[in-house]
């Protein structure tokens, strides 16, 4: 295993338990909560030599994409004043972008590692479902939840994966070796699209695919039902202690019918069958991470920001967000690389090779 440099500073999303350190989950309900045990992923990183230098703020209970937290403040975006840092792992991304940490731990249920990584111009990796331990992390929607690394480059994400997954082995690939499908370029704003196209051009063997973007209105019911179940005993009993946006989301989720939830679950199963068939013959899928650069505070839409990330939580596939140059307002664009479950090392290897190619151009 490639050990981190001595004193490598780790920021831990405050959704993960840390023994003896206050862990709020971004909620006023847990303002004084001090766990007795440390989350397994945090323990593994600390055992490998990472030094936990602080807990990172987040969207309340990780249920949002802006990290505008009514209890602990809005996470600032170090790249641009007045822009969101993204969420829900906004504090983790901001700590990296501000130089306050060398590595960070986040969680991702519909894009919550990759969205803030894109907003803050850092690297975020959502591993295959179940690969990285999620024990000791407050659940959002358990069948969608992933824990994963965030860093300023792919090499550091690889190093964290070696600590988080005993026996994980990184590989090397040449961009020319990979058969790459390109999708969703038309969903992005003009300069984001241009930067992602330039990144995609680094793969000689590429072809555009007609891959549909999942409709949140259609798949979201199953997710929202799981969130409501995760908050049993807290909501509605302590509804007044929630921030307005999360309280509204839980209220709406509580009104879902069984038929809506079942239709959502059937759609998810269909996607899990259809997407691998569509990508047959390809090694990798390349898309924009977000359709836009980091929005202004107060203007971050969950529907917009999860539009291109959520598919890989529905399927459980590994997905990497990688900055790929300046776009609208000079803010970073981000390219997303994904592959079928279990091909985490391939996604990271492709990301490392693409990172080098972008730096050289």
- Which residues are annotated as catalytic? 13, 88, 112
Beta strands 68-69; 73-74: pairing state: antiparallel
Strand partners, 107: 147
Please state, in angstroms and rounded to a whole number, the distance separating the CA atoms of residues 110 and 118: 14
Please state, in angstroms and rounded to a whole number, the distance separating the CA atoms of residues 333 and 324: 6
Residue pair 16/137 in contact by the 8 Å Cβ criterion: yes
Please state, in angstroms and rounded to a whole number, the distance separating the CA atoms of residues 23 and 57: 10
Structure tokens at 179: 């058969």
The torsion angle over the Cα atoms of residues 307, 108, 339 and 361, rounded to 10 degrees, is: 80
């Amino acid at each position: 295993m490639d050990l981190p440099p001595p004193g490598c500073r780790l920021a831990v999303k405050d959704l993960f338990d840390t023994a003896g350190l206050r862990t709020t989950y971004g909620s006023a309900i847990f303002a004084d909560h001090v766990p007795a045990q440390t989350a397994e992923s945090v323990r593994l990183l600390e055992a490998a030599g990472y030094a936990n230098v602080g807990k990172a703020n987040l969207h309340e209970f990780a249920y949002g994409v802006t990290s505008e937290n009514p209890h602990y403040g809005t996470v600032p975006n170090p790249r641009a004043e007045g822009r969101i840092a993204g969420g829900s792992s906004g504090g983790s991304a901001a700590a990296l972008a501000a130089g306050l940490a060398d590595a960070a731990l986040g969680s991702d249920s519909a894009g919550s590692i990759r969205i803030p990584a894109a907003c803050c111009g850092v690297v975020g990796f959502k591993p295959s479902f179940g690969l990285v331990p999620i024990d000791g992390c407050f659940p959002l929607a358990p069948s969608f939840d992933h824990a994963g690394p965030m860093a300023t480059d792919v090499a550091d994400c690889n190093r964290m994966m070696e600590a988080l997954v005993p026996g994980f082995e990184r590989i090397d690939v040449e961009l020319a070796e990979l058969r790459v499908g390109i999708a969703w370029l038309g969903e992005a704003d003009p300069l984001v699209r241009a930067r992602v196209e330039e990144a995609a051009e680094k793969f000689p063997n590429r072809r555009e695919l007609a891959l549909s973007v999942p409709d949140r209105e259609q798949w979201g019911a199953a997710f929202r039902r799981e969130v409501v179940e995760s908050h049993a005993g807290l909501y509605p009993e302590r509804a007044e202690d929630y921030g307005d946006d999360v309280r509204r989301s839980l209220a709406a989720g509580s009104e879902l019918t069984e038929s809506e939830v079942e239709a959502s679950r059937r759609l998810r199963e269909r996607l899990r069958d259809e997407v691998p068939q569509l990508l047959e013959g390809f090694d990798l899928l390349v898309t924009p991470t977000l359709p836009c650069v980091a929005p202004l505070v107060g203007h971050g839409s969950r529907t917009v920001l999860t539009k291109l990330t959520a598919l890989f939580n529905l399927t459980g596939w590994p997905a990497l967000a990688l900055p790929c140059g300046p776009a609208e307002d000079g803010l970073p664009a981000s390219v997303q690389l994904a592959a079928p479950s279990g091909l985490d090392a391939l996604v990271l290897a492709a990301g490392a090779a693409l990172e080098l190619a972008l730096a050289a151009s």
